[in-house]
Amino acid sequence: AAAGKLLVVPVDGSHWLSMRELLDILQQKGHEVVVVAPEVTFHIKPAKNLRIKMYPVPFTQKELDEVP
pTM confidence score: 0.81
- Quick: pLDDT tens for 29-46: 999 999 999 999 989 988
Say how far residue 41 (Cα) sits from the centre of its chain.
Answer: 10
What are the two backbone dihedrals, phi and then psi, of residue 16, each rounded to the nearest 5 degrees? Answer: -65, -40
Q: Please give the DSSP secondary-structure letter assigned to residue 50.
A: B
Q: For residue 35, give the H/E element and its range.
A: strand 32-38
What are the two backbone dihedrals, phi and then psi, of residue 22, each rounded to the nearest 5 degrees? Answer: -65, -45
Closest CA to 37 of 15, 6, 11: 11
Q: What percent of the chain has pLDDT over 90?
A: 63
**Could you give the CA distance from residue 54 to residue 47 in angstroms, rounded to a whole number?**
12
